[in-house]
Structure 1
Amino acid sequence: MSVVETVLVALALGCDAFAVGMGVGTRFCNPRQIFRLSFHFGLFQMMMPIAGWFVGSRAADLVSTWGPWISFALLLFIGGKMAYESFRSLEAEDGECPDPTKGSSLVMLSVATSMDALGVGFSFGILGQQLFLSAVWIGITAGIMTWGAMRLGNRLSRQFGRRMETVGGLILVAIAVKLLLF
């Protein structure tokens, strides 16, 4: 795969991470949170193609069938929870919304945004292409895109107020629905 093709694949795979990062950044954007989400998204985006490459075509049918449903469920759950919590926090400012850059939410978001990368790894394995360097670039690109998206989401949140949290949650729900429809 050429450098240009690698960059294009990395950018395409980073789009989900960008969208999720922007949604999360509307509420959670301190340096630690930015690092955690960017690092984990980049790590998962790097590791999933490698895992897919190793498994290869043996499980390709399973992942192509269930992968979108798994991502849909994870993103729908987290996005719905974010939107719900944003409405709750508007009513009661004392309540604190759980941080999606920690614990199981972080893992679920990382898996959900990297399922496409798993599929890319499968296709590379089937085609017998080398993957490691491409996977590293995919991970770096996703991490950088997540970092930028969180900063952008935070800036939009400051400009448009607390309602951007609702928009952030709805972005995740929209991505979940898109996974099933397209």
Structure 2
Amino acid sequence: MSTDAFAAAVGRGASRRPSVAKAMRAGAVFGIIEALTPVIGWMLGILAASFVQQVDHWIAFSLLAIVGGKMIIDAIAVEKVETAPARSGLTALIATAVGTSLDAAAIGVGLALIGVNIWVIAASIGFTTFVFTTFGMLIGGMVGARFGRWAEIAGGVVLIGIGTVILLDHLGYLG
């Protein structure tokens, strides 16, 4: 489940070239959110499984399309005003993390039905996502230094693609 977070982190890292500390902060945000969403899904699965499964793919698609679209627009903008305040701080980081972790909420719903230890699974998911995201940010920073705008565009396209695959899968268009 951490592969979509990894892809998003590579794109973010390419546009921001983070330090190790900032990459770890992003990894922590993604990891915490990715650990919480299956727990939330598990709780919702106990309460209202059918409702969560009916809307999670639309939420994931919307968030990922918006964040990915913004990455592409920012990358192809002719002039970037360097003194303008960054609009891609913690809020954008959280939005991206939530968008890439909504599939974990759906998995949490399923886990509620089979009676597993959600806490061990959530901790494992969160730690794995932390590691993948931290390395993804650092790899993106290295790629971004060389490929710049193209890496950021690719990251945006990947996020939109992930959202589209989630949507199409839940709508039954993918096997």
What TM-score comes out, normalization by structure 2 length? 0.86
Q: Does 1:166 align with 2:153?
A: yes
User: How far off its partner does 1:126 sit?
Assistant: 1.1
CA RMSD of aligned residues (A): 1.8
Does the CA-based 8 Å contact 2:35-2:126 persist in structure 1? yes
Paired residue type of 1:180: L
User: How far off its partner does 1:99 sit?
Assistant: 5.0
Does the CA-based 8 Å contact 1:26-1:153 persist in structure 2? yes
2:38 paired residue number: 49
Q: Among residues 149, 155, 165, which one is paired with 1:178 in the alignment?
A: 165
Q: 1:148 to 1:99 in 2, by over 3 A?
A: farther
Q: Does 1:70 align with 2:59?
A: yes
User: How far off its partner does 1:145 sit?
Assistant: 0.3
Q: Does 1:35 align with 2:24?
A: yes
1:127 paired residue number: 114
Does the CA-based 8 Å contact 1:21-1:150 persist in structure 2? yes
For 2:47 and 2:80, the matched residues in 1 are separated by 51
For 2:11 and 2:37, the matched residues in 1 are separated by 22
For 1:133 and 1:101, the matched residues in 2 are separated by 30
2:173 paired residue number: none
> 1:106-154 CA deviation, whole Å, 9 max, x = no partner?
2211211111111221111111111111111110000100011111112
Structure-to-structure mapping, 1:136-155, within 5 angstroms: 136-155=123-142
For 1:97 and 1:171, the matched residues in 2 are separated by 26
1:100 paired residue number: 88
Paired residue type of 1:23: G
> SS where residue 77 of structure 1 aligns?
helix
User: How far off its partner does 1:45 sit?
Assistant: 1.0
> SS where residue 15 of structure 2 aligns?
coil
% identical equivalent positions = 30
Structure 1: state its 5+ residue gaps.
1-12
What TM-score comes out, normalization by structure 1 length? 0.83
Paired residue type of 1:175: I
Paired residue type of 2:54: T
1:87 paired residue number: 76
User: How far off its partner does 1:80 sit?
Assistant: 0.4
Structure 2: state its 5+ residue gaps.
170-175
Paired residue type of 2:63: L
User: How far off its partner does 1:84 sit?
Assistant: 0.4
For 2:111 and 2:161, the matched residues in 1 are separated by 29
For 1:164 and 1:63, the matched residues in 2 are separated by 34
Q: 1:129 to 1:161 in 2, by over 3 A?
A: closer
For 2:40 and 2:118, the matched residues in 1 are separated by 10
Q: Among residues 18, 29, 33, which one is paired with 2:6 in the alignment?
A: 18
Does the CA-based 8 Å contact 1:85-1:97 persist in structure 2? no
